[in-house]
C-alpha cells in the first residue's frame, strides 16, 4: 500500500501476525499488518501504549520477548525474510549493521562501567572493521557529529558525567557507528526536557541527511511527529488503521480514531471547556476482536463496524484508512467541530 514512485522500497512487512503466550493464554499483539518502508524517508508510527508499535519494530530487530512469536507473515529486507530468522547468528547479520535502534531512556541504555568513547568505539571496530588509531579517530568524528564538544576529554568520561540530553546523543552516536541503513527511534525524546527534545530531534534530522538513513520513529507525541515525519502510520490495538503523508493524516485524517487522537490534544481545546476525551479503554487483546477494534469507543461507528473488519480504503495515492466510513454506501460523516477548524488552518498553510 502507499505506492511511492520516487523512492525504492527498503523494507516490506506483509500480513504480519505476532502473538504472545502469557499465563496459558494467547495474546495477539499484531493483527495482520502490512507496511512498506521507502529508502530515505522517515516514517512515524503513532499509537497509545499497548497498541503494538514497539512490538512491531522489535520484530524487525529480532528482539521479541521469549514468549512472543511470529504466527504468520513476512518481513522482507534485502534478500532475507526476517520472519524466518530464529537463531542469534542470523540476527547478528542484521542487528546494528543494517538496522539500529535508539531507545527511550538514555539513563539505562548505556553501560555505566565503560567510558562512552569505548562504548562507541566497540561498534566502530565491530561494524566498520576499523582498528587502533583509525577507530579512535572515527569515534571522535562521531562524537562531533552528534554535537558533543571537547571530544578528546569527553571520550574518556563515564555516562554518569553526562546530562540526559548528552547521554541520548551518545546513544545516537552508538547507533550511527554501526553504519545502519535503517534507524529505529523508539520514543527518543520522551525522557527528555522540551528544550533538549527540540535539539535531539533536529540532530536526528541532520544525521538522517548526513548518513542517508531511513528512520522509523515510534512515538505517542504528535508534536514530535509534526517535526520529523514524512509519513505517519496510526496504530490501534495491533493494527495500522490509517497511513499517509504527514499533512494528509494531520489535516485530512479519515479514521475516527485519528480524529479522536488529534481532538484530545490540549492545544485544540479551549480553556474552561471540557477537553475532548476518548471514552472507555482499548480492547483486551486476549479476546478475539470482531469488526473494527475501535468501534466500541467510536461515536461514529456504523453497524457493520461491529461485524466486519474494514479493509484499507484509498483516499489518495499515498493515503489509506481502515474505516467503513469511506465506503461508497456509508453515510456522510463530518469530523468534530474543533477539528474542522484545525483542518481548515492546515489547508490554509498548505496553500501558502
- CB of 270: closest distance to another protein in angstroms? 9
- 1 near another protein, rule: CB under 8 A: no
User: Alpha-carbon Rg of the chain, whole angstroms?
Assistant: 21
The span from the CA of 36 to the CA of 214, in Å, is 12
Task: Give the count of alpha carbons within 13 A of 201, CB side only.
Answer: 24
Sequence-distant (6+) residues with CB within 8 A of 10 are 37, 38, 39, 77, 181, 182, 214
Residue 211 binds another protein, judged by CB under 8 A: no
Q: How far apart are CA 74 and CA 35, in angstroms?
A: 11
How many chain residues touch another protein (CB under 8 A)?
45
Please identify, among the stretches 13-21, 224-232, 313-321, 322-330, the one whose residues bind another protein according to the rule CB under 8 A.
224-232
Segment near another protein (CB under 8 A), from 87-95, 147-155, 196-204, 312-320?
A: 196-204
What lies within 8 Å, CB to CB, of 198 at 6+ separation is 227
Is position 195 an interface residue for another protein (rule: CB under 8 A)?
yes
Joined grid coordinates for residue 277: 476525551
Site string for another protein, 238-277 (x = CB under 8 A): --------xx--x---------xxx-xxxxxx-x--xxxx
- Cα four-point dihedral sign 82, 244, 188, 155: positive
Residue 147 engages another protein in binding (rule: CB under 8 A): no
- When asked if residue 234 is in the footprint of another protein (CB under 8 A), the reply is no
**Which residue, 155 or 250, has its beta carbon nearer to another protein?**
250
- Going by C-alpha positions, the residue among 281, 240, 285, 246 that lies closest to residue 262 is 246
Q: Which residues bind another protein (CB under 8 A)?
A: 48-49, 164, 193-199, 202, 220-227, 229, 246-247, 250, 260-262, 264-269, 271, 274-278, 281, 342, 345-346, 349-350, 352
Amino acid at each position: 500500500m502507499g505506492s511511492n514512485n520516487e523512492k525504492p522500497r527498503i523494507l516490506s512487512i506483509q500480513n504480519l501476525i505476532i502473538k504472545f503466550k502469557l499465563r496459558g493464554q494467547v495474546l495477539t499483539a499484531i493483527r495482520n499488518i502490512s507496511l512498506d518502508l521507502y529508502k530515505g524517508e522517515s516514517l512515524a508510527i503513532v499509537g497509545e501504549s499497548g497498541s503494538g508499535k514497539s512490538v512491531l519494530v522489535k520484530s524487525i530487530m529480532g528482539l521479541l520477548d521469549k514468549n512472543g512469536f511470529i504466527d504468520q507473515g513476512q518481513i522482507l529486507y534485502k534478500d532475507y525474510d526476517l520472519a524466518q530468522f530464529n537463531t542469534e547468528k542470523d540476527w547478528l547479520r542484521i542487528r546494528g549493521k543494517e538496522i539500529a535502534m535508539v531507545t527511550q531512556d538514555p539513563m539505562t541504555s548505556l553501560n555505566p562501567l565503560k567510558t562512552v568513547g569505548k562504548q562507541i568505539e566497540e561498534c566502530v571496530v565491530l561494524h566498520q572493521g576499523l582498528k587502533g588509531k583509525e577507530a579512535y579517530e572515527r569515534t571522535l568524528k562521531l562524537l562531533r557529529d552528534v554535537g558533543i564538544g571537547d571530544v578528546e576529554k569527553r571520550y574518556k568520561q563515564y555516562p554518569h558525567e553526562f546530562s540526559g540530553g548528552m547521554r541520548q546523543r551518545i546513544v545516537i552516536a552508538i547507533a550511527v557507528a554501526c553504519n545502519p541503513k535503517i534507524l529505529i527511534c523508539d520514543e527518543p525524546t520522551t525522557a527528555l526536557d522540551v528544550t533538549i527534545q527540540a535539539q535531539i530531534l533536529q540532530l536526528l534530522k541532520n544525521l538522517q541527511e548526513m548518513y542517508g538513513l531511513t528512520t522509523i520513529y515510534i512515538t505517542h507525541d504528535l508534536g514530535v511527529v509534526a517535526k520529523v515525519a514524512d509519513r505517519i502510520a496510526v496504530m490501534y490495538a495491533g493494527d495500522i488503521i490509517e497511513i499517509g503523508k504527514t499533512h494528509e493524516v494531520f489535516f485530512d485524517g479519515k479514521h475516527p480514531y485519528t480524529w479522536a487522537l488529534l481532538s484530545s490534544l490540549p492545544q485544540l481545546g479551549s480553556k474552561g471547556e471540557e477537553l475532548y476525551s476518548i471514552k472507555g479503554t482499548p480492547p483486551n487483546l486476549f479476546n478475539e476482536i470482531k469488526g473494527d477494534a475501535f468501534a466500541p469507543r467510536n461515536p461514529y461507528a456504523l453497524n457493520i463496524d461491529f461485524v466486519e473488519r474494514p479493509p484499507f480504503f484509498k483516499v489518495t495515492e499515498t493515503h489509506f484508512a481502515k474505516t467503513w466510513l469511506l465506503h461508497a454506501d456509508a453515510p456522510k460523516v463530518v469530523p468534530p467541530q474543533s477539528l474542522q477548524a484545525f483542518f481548515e488552518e492546515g489547508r490554509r498553510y498548505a496553500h501558502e
